[in-house]
Amino acid sequence: MKLDVNMLRYLSKEDFRVLTAVEMGMRNHEIVPCELVERIASLKHGGTYKVLKNLLKHKLLHHDSSKYDGFRLTYLGYDFLAIKTLVNRGVFASVGRQIGVGKESDIFEVATEDGTVMAMKLHRLGRVSFRAVKSKRDYLKHRSSFSWLYLSRLAALKEFAFMKALEEHGFPVPNAVDCNRHCVIMSLVQGYPFVQVKQLQNPEVVFETIIGLVVRLAEHGLIHCDFNEFNIMIDDDEKVTMIDFPQMVSVSHHNAQMYFDRDVECVFKFFRKRFNMSFHECTDDIDGTEVDTDSSGRPCFSSIAKDTVFLDKELAASGFTKKDQEVVEKFIEGGLEKDASSDDEGTGDGTHTSEEDASSDDEDSEDATHISVLNEANIKGVDSLHLLDQGQT
């Protein structure tokens, strides 16, 4: 997705105020009625409509008049709100080139005033997962606040919380710097995705390190669920860093064994194919510790996994709750990167069609009457923009 951050400079206070008003309205509305935007934004000198037109022109909003006249944020609009918040907090000062396109994210370089470069991951749930969402229709019916904003925000929060907790437990992960909305800021990993690496000095050592990570995670009660050559970074000294955590599950998950075995299999398969390795000799002693393996040298889930209350405290410290985990787990299935890529609908407005997919036949004729009721509820429930001006936004 194109992210012309120069545009940020030309957006006024009023622009952001109205953009934030649409975001707030989206807590209860998929499409936020114009009058509601106007009321939440309550610009001193009026002119909300003109501002809306400007935001629309820059593709920060999407206009929808199918049922009533209203707006919703585009991913670009959401990006700008997150970026502005983080810039205001002093986390970074500029946005650079795009360094990665994941199946459900875009990754950019960002830099601080003094030139320190970090990575910014913008989560984009809805690119592929709305198909999954569609099949969870019953669940969604009872969730008024559901939207791709909510899911992307939750995915980012989960990723941030796990990264931070894993870092504290000595796992080789990027340093988790900050998080806002659907955006995670982390240290930039030097090196390359493992999938690009054709040769290693010490394939056995790297192999043991990587399998050792899967084992150590399980010992801590966790499974990565997408542990493959796309989510492992490796530098010139063959130092390994793991990334990409929104789909992690606990070893008590009902599919835990399958996810664990799949992670292990991915590693074995990649090393066999890319580095022509055979295994049974080197896996009994993984990363300096003895591990139970089966006859093919693969670590045994049942003898490793410890259902500890791992990281509960650490995760909660980042604001990621058990409830959040339940919600996120319903929507993010640990799918393999390669499988999902063919499913990718691309960028930009593709998101919207998928979003509509997810909700279209969900709507009933009562909707129109709900709107006026929600308007009132909304206004009361909404934090004042003044508070946000000083705090979050």
Name which position in 25, 33, 70, 102 contacts Mg ion (CB under 5 A): 102
Phi, psi of 151 (to 5 degrees): -65, -40
Tell me the residue number closest to ligand ADP, measured at CB.
102
Task: Give yes or no for residue 243 binding ligand ADP (CB under 6 A).
Answer: yes
Q: Cβ(124)–Cβ(351) under 8 Å?
A: yes
Residue 10: φ, ψ to 5°: -90, 0
Number of other CB atoms surrounding residue 393 within 10 Å: 18
Q: Per CB under 6 A, does 107 bind ligand ADP?
A: yes
Q: Does residue number 208 form part of the binding site for ligand ADP (CB under 6 A)?
A: no
Question: Cα separation of 180 and 84, whole Å?
Answer: 10
Check if the beta carbon of residue 336 is closer than 8 Å to that of residue 226.
yes
229 sits near Mg ion (criterion: CB under 5 A): no
Among 108, 148, 230, 270, binds ligand ADP (CB under 6 A): 230
The identity of residue 105, as a single letter, is S
Interaction between residue 121 and ligand ADP (CB under 6 A): yes
Size of the site for ligand ADP (CB under 6 A): 19
Is there binding between residue 159 and Mg ion (CB under 5 A)? Answer: no
For residue 15, the one-letter residue type is D
Treating both helix axes as pointing N-terminal to C-terminal, what angle do 34-41 and 367-381 enclose, rounded to 10 degrees? 10
Residues 240, 279: contact at Cβ < 8 Å? Answer: no
What are the φ/ψ torsions at residue 51 (nearest 5 degrees)?
-65, -45
- When asked if residue 104 is in the footprint of ligand ADP (CB under 6 A), the reply is yes
**Binding residues for ligand ADP restricted to 69-88, rule: CB under 6 A:** none
Report the partner that residue 217 touches, choosing among Mg ion, ligand ADP, none (CB closer than 5 to 8 A by kind).
none
Q: What are phi and psi of 85, to 5 degrees?
A: -60, -45
Q: Is 20 in the site for ligand ADP (CB under 6 A)?
A: no
The reply on whether position 108 binds ligand ADP by CB under 6 A is no
- Establish if 231 lies at the interface with Mg ion (CB under 5 A): yes
Active site residue 226: yes
- Between residues 107 and 200, which has the closer beta carbon with respect to ligand ADP? 107
How does strand 222-223 pair with strand 183-187? unpaired
128 in contact with ligand ADP (CB under 6 A):
no
Q: Which of 79, 226, 244, 263 is catalytic?
A: 226
Q: Are the C-beta atoms of 77 and 25 separated by less than 8 Å?
A: no
The residue ranges that bind Mg ion (CB under 5 A) are 102, 231, 244
Catalytic residues: 226
The residue ranges that bind ligand ADP (CB under 6 A) are 99-100, 102-105, 107, 119, 121, 174, 186, 188-189, 193, 230-231, 243-244, 337
